[in-house]
Structure 1
């Protein structure tokens, strides 16, 4: 028994980000009941799945997958909100571990050379204190043992939030949003996995892929924690 942990949980109880109930020992971010009710996509490594089809005609990708379906106001939405805005760093890593553990048996990570999280703008990351996609990628790395590459791509500007924009406006909002760094040369001929928290229209991920396409011989796959199908 860890007396300091017990005292912390007594005075500052840990609550489930989905239902608000007090968490038990061993639970992180989500209670067992809410964890077991999350809507899995089960697409994992299915070739030509509907998520991959979102990118057909936009950018050539090797494969794409997501762990959960996203619905407005649902438990997955609450998890994502906590990851982004409530400083739940451990939750970000845990969800990455969950994603990695679920997809690993399907062979989804075979042939991947490194994980590349979608970057935040510098001022946004300083304000938030972390990049949730990078922490998500760290969790995936713990399960897959794939290296992280977080110095090859950067965000040019702090674009306005995509949340309330139409599909067309989202695409306009991300034009020229990312650029590669001089360190991106190490990705020549590599198969990289772009990691983000949620896929909506795919505009941000395609903007990342467009910037990375300047690297000779690069191949790109995509994984997200959630998908707003």
Structure 2
């Protein structure tokens, strides 16, 4: 098997998702230089941090974290672009494994009961073929040893991209956007709500409002990246 892989690599060598240089046998997705150049937040070990402060006065969250800072045209944007638009779902697993180990080490997330992702509308899901946070959530689920519930939170309508909207318009764009389906009893549970990138937090806030129909829930938040 290794010989076959070596032969394939001669003709179709793996390249770094960021710098496009060839990867060595010991490198996966990213070269060592680009991996070490990723802007880590260390939010898992800090409280209060910028993720938690984003939701002050809006929704009560227990803890919040994000693995990377998201910087326009930076390496993290390139990495997440590969996940969202080029079908490279292994990026989600790569980030989930990394963040999951951080969360275990921090000991601030030890009492979480389950993981729920921010969903895509079914039309966008059908077009893309996958939710970009699924493999991220599955990896967190495995490392944290808690269930991953992908089909509880649903999106009512497909909306325009949030990218160019200001804060107020983002909130108006997602208000009452989500609903609960395929109910599992989440009352009295501590839920880890996950997304790919936190910018204003409006989508996560709307997700919380839908989940808050369950009694006595607690919410923590984890994302791949936080917009700096």
* TM bin (shorter chain): over 0.9
* Post-superposition offset of 1:65: 0.9
Number of residues paired by the alignment? 228
Question: 2:57 matched to which residue of 1?
Answer: 57
Question: 1:19 matched to which residue of 2?
Answer: 19
Give every structure 1 segment of 4 or more consecutive aligned residues whose post-TM-superposition deviation is greater than 6 Å.
none
2-structure distance, mates of 1:182, 1:97: 27
Tell me, yes or no, if the aligned pair for 1:119 and 1:134 is still in contact at 8 Å.
Answer: no
* Post-superposition offset of 1:182: 4.1
Tell me, yes or no, if the aligned pair for 2:64 and 2:221 is still in contact at 8 Å.
Answer: yes
Question: 1:189 matched to which residue of 2?
Answer: 188
* Post-superposition offset of 1:215: 0.8
Consecutive unaligned residues in structure 2, runs of 5 or more = none
Question: 2:223 matched to which residue of 1?
Answer: 224
SS in 1 for 2:44: coil
Q: Provide TM-score, normalisation by structure 1.
A: 0.94
Tell me, yes or no, if the aligned pair for 1:70 and 1:226 is still in contact at 8 Å.
Answer: yes
1:13-92 equivalent positions in 2, closer than 5 A: 13-92=13-92
Question: 1:169 matched to which residue of 2?
Answer: 169
Consecutive unaligned residues in structure 1, runs of 5 or more = none
Q: Provide TM-score, normalisation by structure 2.
A: 0.95
* 1:82-123 residue CA offsets vs partner (Å, 9 max, x unmatched): 110010011211111011112211013211001111111112
2-structure distance, mates of 1:191, 1:167: 28
Structure 1 residues 47 and 77, CA gap change in structure 2 (3 angstroms) = same
Tell me, yes or no, if the aligned pair for 1:52 and 1:63 is still in contact at 8 Å.
Answer: yes
Structure 1 residues 163 and 8, CA gap change in structure 2 (3 angstroms) = farther
Superposition CA RMSD, Å: 1.4
SS in 1 for 2:206: helix
2-structure distance, mates of 1:194, 1:26: 33
SS in 2 for 1:91: helix
